[in-house]
Amino acid sequence: MGRWVLLRKFQHELKERPLRTQMIFASVVALAGDTVAQNVVEGKRLFNDQDHVRTVRMACFSTFVWTPLGYKWFLFASRFWPKATLTNVVKKTSIDQLVIIPITLTLFLCTNEALQGSSVAKIKKRIESDYQTILVKNWQVWGPVQFFNFYLIPVAYQVIFVRVIGFFWTIFMSFISHKEI
């Protein structure tokens, strides 16, 4: 019974305060994703080795950059192409993957390095090292995910759906973007 109450509360908050609710949800997912990346993938120990500043940095980008951007983008796309026809879904997915993602990926790599105190040269090196690999992986994962998202998921739940899938993406991004170059 308790979980249904919680789900109804979440749905109510999502309807009444969509951006705030999505931002809170995104922060929890990103915190969890980076924690898994560090402790499971990289073999760190939660309270001894984990870089908590890195975890907060990953959560902040997801919460304050990607989620508001995604929220606005999904609203715009749903207003501009309201029907989930094959043509509209291909348009939305194409713009998402060929315009929005390359920009946000560059922003993420630059911001993440800058917040670590990296020099401009190291930021450039990170982009040269990781951008293409991440972008291709993004297309392999997120192209189909976004097609499904735009085709079947109601607009109110699109950012939430993306953040759930984003848990696994955060693990990948956290690992890749924090490896030595």
Q: What is the pLDDT of residue 1?
A: 54
Each residue's pLDDT tens digit, 156-180:
888 789 888 999 999 999 999 998 8
Each residue's pLDDT tens digit, 33-55:
999 999 999 999 877 899 999 99
Each residue's pLDDT tens digit, 14-36:
899 999 999 999 999 999 999 99
Residue 126's nearest CA partner among 181, 176, 58, 173 is: 181
**Residue 59 CB burial class (10 angstroms; 0-12, 13-18, ≥19):** buried
Q: What is the pLDDT of residue 116?
A: 95
Q: What are phi and psi of 112, to 5 degrees?
A: -60, -45
